Amino acid sequence: MTAPFTSLATFRDTLAAAPGPDTAAAAGAEARNGQLTKPPGALGRLEDLAIWYAGWRGTDRPSVDAPQVIIFAGNHGVCAQGVSAFPAEVTAQMVANFQHGGAAINQLSKAVGAQMDVHALDLDTPTADFTQGPAMSEAEVVAALTTGWQAVNPGADVLVVGEMGIGNTTSAAAIGHALFGGEAADWAGRGTGVDDAGLARKTDVVARAVALHQTDDALAVLRCLGGREVAAMAGAIAAARHHRIPVILDGFICSAAAATLAQTQPGALDHTVAGHLSAEGAHQCLLDAIGKAPLLSLGLRLGEGSGGALAINILKGAVACHSGMATFAEAGVADG
């Protein structure tokens, strides 16, 4: 589907025009939930999750039949600053692994019956080193947003977006610092496993980059400090909202991409839930900032959409209970 924007200004307009949930379907789901054969609230967050999902899918008795997982890959010029434990060549190598079915996310996608797609964005042309200038031009960031938008299958009924990009925890840390303040050390973590010296370099890079690109415009933050794969995730999350497809957010980098939308348009993430809390220290800070409580906390720090894909199982369980359980009247069980 052709993206309905050609600039950051029209992308901002697209976010502002995004649809909301079907309130009648949500109300119907809430009423149904109150009649199911269980004590009120006995399924905890699963009940809220099913009602939220019903509102976005437009039916009070939904199902999860067509998950989609999309992995976006990009390379970062800031890797020249020594911020990663791995060379940039690993990005392309891992893309090949995804394409051949050999990565963790391939197995997790298969396990939940998800369509999995991989999009590599100009791996031979890394973004610019954002300690020296903006990571991307407006044309480049809009192209990445467009790739993300067009990658979403309108027939999907839940979406997870993940990433691969050596250096992208540095990008995500810089985005978090630029959007929400604090100190650079609050946002910079060990990522792929940098040592103490690498962490010090990374923290310094984040501080210098944010000082260089001071702006209150979250889309400008995405352009100046993001990566192509980060922008593509933002584009895909926005497209899902356009199609009323619920989104399960993955880890630190996905949450940073999502945060640029939330800071651009209030309510832009109402169609999303946080799949998990990753082991990257600043992820909790990002989740707090965007008001999302994770469904899982398993110490993951892989990326690739892995935590989000795992959380599809939680959503499936919530929806199966909501739509498949009998009501008190159907089961002939006395209600209270």
AA letter at 137: S
**CA distances in angstroms from 184 to 177, 260, 281, 283, listed in the order given:** 6, 18, 12, 14
Classify residue 158 by burial, with Cβ atoms within 10 Å: 0-12, 13-18, 19+. buried
What's the average model confidence in pLDDT over 14-43? 98
Lowest mean pLDDT among 32-41, 170-179, 189-198: 189-198
Token output for 111: 């396990």
Strand partners, 164: 73
Give the Cα separation of 209 and 211 in Å (integer).
5
Under 8 Å between Cβ of 144 and 235: yes
For 193-269, strand residue ranges (E) read 247-249
Please tell me what DSSP assigns to residue 249.
Answer: E
Tell me the three state secondary structure of residue 73.
strand
What's the average model confidence in pLDDT over 194-217? 94
Under 8 Å between Cβ of 187 and 259: no
Please tell me what DSSP assigns to residue 79.
Answer: G
pLDDT > 90: percent of the chain: 93
Catalytic residues: 304
pLDDT higher than 90, residue 259: yes
What's the average model confidence in pLDDT over 299-323? 97
pLDDT higher than 80, residue 105: yes
What value, to the nearest 5°, has the Cα angle with vertex 24 and ends 153 and 266?
65
175 pLDDT band, cuts 50/70/90, is very high
